Chains A and B, each alone.
Chain A
């Protein structure tokens, strides 16, 4: 393959959004048959750049050259014509449709007026065999695993004859084994002559997969290097712009009393399947229990059960020895449970409320904020002022809408609110999702500090690094069961990955 030819060349791309320059005269070059990583923190401008390349945004300045010719990409259909395909982070799949329907959508083979489903299935089968991406064309998207769904996304681009494939954070939702398979698939594609761009913020992936890497920070290209000439530490510094330590300082600590005791929880799921299949666990004061697992294996339901948001069919939840099974969320909250939910915007904050109003979202009924039916906004503001200072929540004032805050500051506000309640148990679900490194460090520091102060912490995360860095113990969840526990001190990704895929813990695990 002639690597001297360029597939994509972006020259001086600038894209402005109200109040922010997402891309600031970016230069980028992708060679034919190359795997090129675009590395940067959340919000650095990677996705914006790729959305420009895929025709979803128009650049304010700059030129796009594809295969040596300057072009304007006015929409996704033009990008597809030019042989550009994108595997989106949030899959663009229609849930009730079949695999084949999703792949041929917009480009359906027809017989007369009808869609030729036989031909569609055949075509899908042919491509999937050629690239080693096994799928069942007639399965419905809602019934297949996330890994499979990603294959469908890749097949969609190949069906449209993509020569340049963009992967946006492709490993975010995959198990360790699925990631290995994906790496294999991407290598295959490159070997077939496809040019690949991978958007990511994960250093390991870059080193494992890419030929070269372009680092972006705050909308600007910092450097482009080949992976042979660099290492993880250097990339991290380029990405963040300063020294980074991945270590979280955690003192040895003997766990105290059992705070949360969960016994044999059972809960029905959406489609009659059991979402929780007899989950039992204990968390003691001063320890962090991490829950590992692929998204959708009952983690959310476990949280619903503990917090009282959904009724369980069987089993018990005890807090400080007190039975809290199927108590109302309010009761559970008052009994001493804090909750940092996964989705800040949807679950953690009322975005159209002020920062101040958000600070009392689960305590507004307390006499602290008025002993009558009327609410004492002064007390609210006093508290907010204090918390905003203590937790370094930056905004243009406590009366600004929560919507106007950056993701990191929104998360700080939530942590401030939840820790102010002085809970015995703190539940944190994906607490660093979508945050930049500075904010991640802050959140980690606060969680460990809370642990050191003797709180019990239940941490659900899909990031193995985060689980290892914070947890004292790690339990693995699969299809509504706990597959066993591993020691957080001894890292074994293979073992963890196997458990996440449904294999029981082996003898050297503690299952």
Chain B
């Protein structure tokens, strides 16, 4: 497996590792500056994560949507597109699932799959709009998908408030049990952590991501367009259609993330003041994972873990949980500026090299 070798080759794993360490150091400095104890904070974070089966289960619950959104961002990246609109596609996925889950009442073997597919397609189409605007009108996908994020938020709020609302509340009616995808025995095993099939599907999606891009003709085309759209055009590929397809698939991943938040976790959709943020975290996950499927999985575990554990930090060390956002921001910053990281590492690497020379 060339892929695996690539992922675990020294240079590609060294930079994210160093970036994570530097990010944690930045967070520690921020905590010191705020008069908190970073060591206590980080250990409370770990405590929170691993203390009980419930917390572990809930951490996995928090990680799951990040796998989806990370895959979504990565997939678009692989075809040369920056899908910053995963956030909106995620929200559309939630909405699609809620509509089907609330309004229809079907046997579970139809209801759940239908709700899942609807949400996925909602996400895909929402991303497809950005892809279409890019292909046909030359609109930068970054700008258009930022706009689409806001529109998705307000549109979803409108749909929830107008068609699905639970009387007198700021949320939708509860999704029918037949559409829910909880895993009861795991829930029992983890003392009522909200475990659901979405996690399994997320792992399946990691594999699908790999197969589509590296095993199919479609994937070959997507990668060619991603590396060099001009050459792809000269080779007779339909670059515009490929871009729309790529955005659609990316949006499907994002939509699935939203679907399982409804069908696996909450069972209803609230009227939101701001979007949930999983899409933006997906960018972080994708960057940290180097846009490889395994990398995304690991990145999601890291960020999901940090975010979930941050509640422990504020409980155990009184640190505002936002410090985790600083850590995450810093980590991506260092991954993006790998030149900077190398520059940081230079003295160490040189020392190692010179030691090796001395040894020889």
Contact = CB atoms under 8 A, between A and B. Distances in A.
Contact between chain A and chain B defined by CB under 8 Å: yes
Interface of A: 307, 309, 328-330, 332-334, 339, 341, 346-353, 357, 361-362, 364-365, 369-370, 373-375
Given A352-B227, A357-B220, A375-B220, A309 B234 contact: yes
B234 A364 contact: no
A341 B235 CA distance: 10
Interface residues of B, number: 20
B227 A364 contact: no
B236 A329 contact: yes
Nearest to A330: B236
Given A329-B235, A351-B227, A374-B216, 17 more contacts: A329-B237, A330-B236, A334-B236, A346-B228, A346-B230, A346-B231, A347-B230, A348-B234, A350-B227, A352-B228, A353-B227, A357-B220, A361-B224, A362-B236, A369-B217, A375-B216, A375-B217
A330 B231 contact: no
A373 B220 CA distance: 11
A315 to B, nearest CB: 22
Interface of B: 215-221, 223-224, 227-228, 230-238
28 contacts: A307-B234, A309-B233, A328-B236, A329-B236, A330-B237, A330-B238, A333-B236, A339-B234, A347-B231, A348-B231, A348-B234, A349-B231, A350-B227, A351-B227, A352-B227, A353-B224, A361-B232, A362-B235, A364-B217, A364-B220, A364-B221, A369-B217, A370-B217, A373-B218, A374-B215, A375-B215, A375-B216, A375-B217
Nearest to A360: B220
A351 B237 CA distance: 17
A365 B219 CA distance: 11
Contacts of A341: 234
Contacts of B234: 307, 309, 329, 339, 341, 347-348
A187 B228 CA distance: 44
Given A370-B217, A374-B216, A328 B228 contact: no
Given A346-B228, A361-B224, A373 B217 contact: yes
B233 A361 contact: no
Contacts of A328: 236, 238
A351 B233 CA distance: 15
A423 to B, nearest CB: 12
Contacts of B216: 373-375
B69 to A, nearest CB: 25
A350 B231 contact: yes
Contacts of A375: 215-217, 219-220
Nearest first, the 6 A-B pairs at minimum CB distance are A330-B236, A362-B235, A361-B235, A329-B236, A333-B236, A352-B227
A26 to B, nearest CB: 31
A231 to B, nearest CB: 42
Contacts of A348: 231, 234
A133 B221 CA distance: 50
A361 B231 CA distance: 9
Contacts of A329: 233-237
Contacts of B237: 329-330
A351 B231 CA distance: 9
Given A309-B233, A309-B234, A329-B233, A351 B217 contact: no
A455 to B, nearest CB: 19
Nearest to B228: A350
B236 A332 contact: yes
Nearest to B225: A350
A381 to B, nearest CB: 13
Contacts of A330: 236-238
A359 to B, nearest CB: 11
A333 B234 CA distance: 9
A357 B216 CA distance: 13
Question: Most B CB atoms within 10 A — which of A334, A341, A350, A353?
Answer: A350
A399 B237 CA distance: 22
B338 to A, nearest CB: 17
B327 to A, nearest CB: 32
A459 B227 CA distance: 28
A350 B224 contact: yes
A370 to B, nearest CB: 7
Nearest to A307: B234
Nearest to A369: B217
A352 B231 CA distance: 11
Contacts of B231: 346-350, 361
Nearest to B234: A347
A350 B78 CA distance: 14
A329 B238 CA distance: 8
Contacts of A352: 227-228
Contacts of B238: 328, 330
Contacts of B217: 364-365, 369-370, 373-375
A373 B218 CA distance: 7
Contacts of A346: 228, 230-231
Contacts of B223: 353
B232 A350 contact: yes
Nearest to A399: B2
Contacts of A373: 216-218
A351 B236 contact: no
Contacts of A339: 234
A203 B231 CA distance: 34
A280 to B, nearest CB: 25
A329 B229 CA distance: 14
Contacts of B232: 350, 361
Contacts of A347: 230-231, 234
Contacts of A333: 235-236
Contacts of B218: 373
A63 to B, nearest CB: 30
Nearest to A347: B234
Contacts of B221: 364
Contacts of A309: 233-234
B235 to A, nearest CB: 4
B220 to A, nearest CB: 5
A41 B153 CA distance: 61
Nearest to B239: A329
A202 to B, nearest CB: 29
A150 B217 CA distance: 46
A347 B236 CA distance: 11
A211 to B, nearest CB: 43
A324 to B, nearest CB: 13
